[in-house]
Structure 1
């Protein structure tokens, strides 16, 4: 079963923060070791202080409400990462002193509650509110969402005021609409101002979403460019082929490969990458990298024919003679034209 911290403080599970503080104050004063001489008092006092240390902390209380003492002290996973196990430091007097400002049980503590300082003497009464630290979340977006942009809906839970007097808060769900610009780069921070927990003495925190690319099946984004890989045979790498690619915006692109595909060769297709942020009409490039699949076996006759082909290329163009190679390619293209379509000689 584990320890029931609500039972120790003798309060209900839906008690407010003020109810928790009142219960702890009464019990801590009543079971203070300097008031009672019973040796069991110290252990009871520590349990009371531990119960307040858990329920007085919003995160610890939320974990305890969902997973109990076992989950709280073992640690649990969360959407933002692993929540570390909770361990009470064991010094009840330290908790008592942090709460009351003194370790003495005989101090005139009621004076502050009976005659509190006027609000205008406090910074909050003069209109000054300290802003809570920003809350950061990772926003994973698909390349499709980044390409088109739009609005991303995210559900959050936060403390909101109850009633017109705004004296109490409770956890409520809220849907945030996050604007996504086409082509937004990874690491971009999208700020939702003051969407954190509401608090009468503090300004709600900003919620910051940090953009991160979700892995895609075929594409990788590098800056504004898209990188993809195509598999071709050795024959296609030497004789040419046509690559068919389905783009992010659901178009079919056919790219002819007429060059010889050598190691580290890349085919660049201008304007088929990701939109450039704030310049939607302009896009990056598509870069195709190749993986050449070699045949596992070649018959002897095929090897002899390839040997003759490479020999003819060697004697016709030679090594390091690009001009001669270009003339051979031009002559080869001319010979491929149908005789009926050839221009008459001058």
Structure 2
């Protein structure tokens, strides 16, 4: 079909992802409303964007190939039908020839009406956060734009304790819908490790530098965390690599917050005073400890 999504991009149904991306860029550059003021250019651009959104995702492309233009409704109904098995009684059945949805319950698809038909496609974006930003949460302003010009700003409310991979939905910020119901913008949060903090699910890991005498004798030391300074008890005989667990000091979450793990890192002075050198030499002479044997 000339007016299907493949036709909108001008590619064959066997086109690979590279061809789809290249076709989208060429056509989007030509029909973007900011550069093309001819009648119908904006609608053409929306159709091109919809085609790219669907065909660039292998899962949605497979559903489109199977079910056609209304693949979202048909795929959902087909999945529900497969999971629950045949239903008894009621409902008008809609059947079409060829491949696609067979024996689909029309009332199941549209809830007894026709709401949702022609809904705009969802768009996706990513937002990068530091561990500290994810811990605190708060409002962030993001710009979603086209590589061919123009951008829109959205204010996103980041929940405190946001995790890497968490998705936030902005209703109505996606593709334009045929019935006036626009799609949504799905923002995936990417929490990046920093020099100080590393994120592991809801747990936070950090290094805890301590002096040799603190490692040997034990000590209570102050340590910064995303939530503020805390006191950590270092047990006697703590070597580099030992993990100290601070329960509930990780990412804040409803119910059970994450934990914070402080990894001991023994640090020696770069330079020694005369007195410090004498004491270390005395310790060397009286100690039977062998670091290579661990005794």
Q: How does 1:136-175 map to 2 (within 5 A)?
A: 136-157=124-145, 174-175=152-153
Matched residue SS, 2:128: strand
**Rounded Cα–Cα distance in structure 2 between residues aligned with 1:152 and 1:16:** 33
The answer to whether the 8 Å contact 2:46/2:175 transfers is no
Corresponding residue number in structure 2 for 1:205: 183
The answer to whether the 8 Å contact 2:123/2:175 transfers is no
Q: Which has the larger radius of gyration?
A: 1
Corresponding residue number in structure 1 for 2:39: 18
Q: Deviations over 1:183-226 (max 9, x none)?
A: 22211111122213436577533211001103333111212221
Corresponding residue number in structure 1 for 2:7: none
Instruction: State the aligned residue count.
Output: 189
Q: Which of 217, 221, 224 is the equivalent residue of 1:243? A: 221
CA 1:233–1:59: 2 relative to 1, 3 Å: farther
Q: Deviations over 1:3-29 (max 9, x none)?
A: xx9xxx9xx9854352669xxxxxxxx
The answer to whether the 8 Å contact 2:168/2:187 transfers is yes
The answer to whether the 8 Å contact 2:116/2:181 transfers is no
Corresponding residue number in structure 1 for 2:247: 270
Structure 1 residue 242, shift from structure 2 partner = 3.1
**TM-score for the superposition, normalised by structure 1:** 0.44
The answer to whether the 8 Å contact 1:137/1:209 transfers is yes
State yes or no: 1:261 paired with 2:238. yes
**TM-score for the superposition, normalised by structure 2:** 0.50
Corresponding residue number in structure 2 for 1:288: 262
**Rounded Cα–Cα distance in structure 2 between residues aligned with 1:229 and 1:308:** 25
Matched residue SS, 1:274: coil
Question: Structure 1, unaligned stretches of length 5 or more?
Answer: 22-55, 61-125, 159-170, 315-346
Structure 1 residue 157, shift from structure 2 partner = 4.6
Corresponding residue number in structure 2 for 1:72: none
Q: Name which of structure 1's ranges 195-204 and 132-141 shifts more when overlaid on structure 2.
A: 195-204
The answer to whether the 8 Å contact 1:129/1:203 transfers is no
Q: CA RMSD in A?
A: 4.3
The answer to whether the 8 Å contact 2:249/2:257 transfers is yes
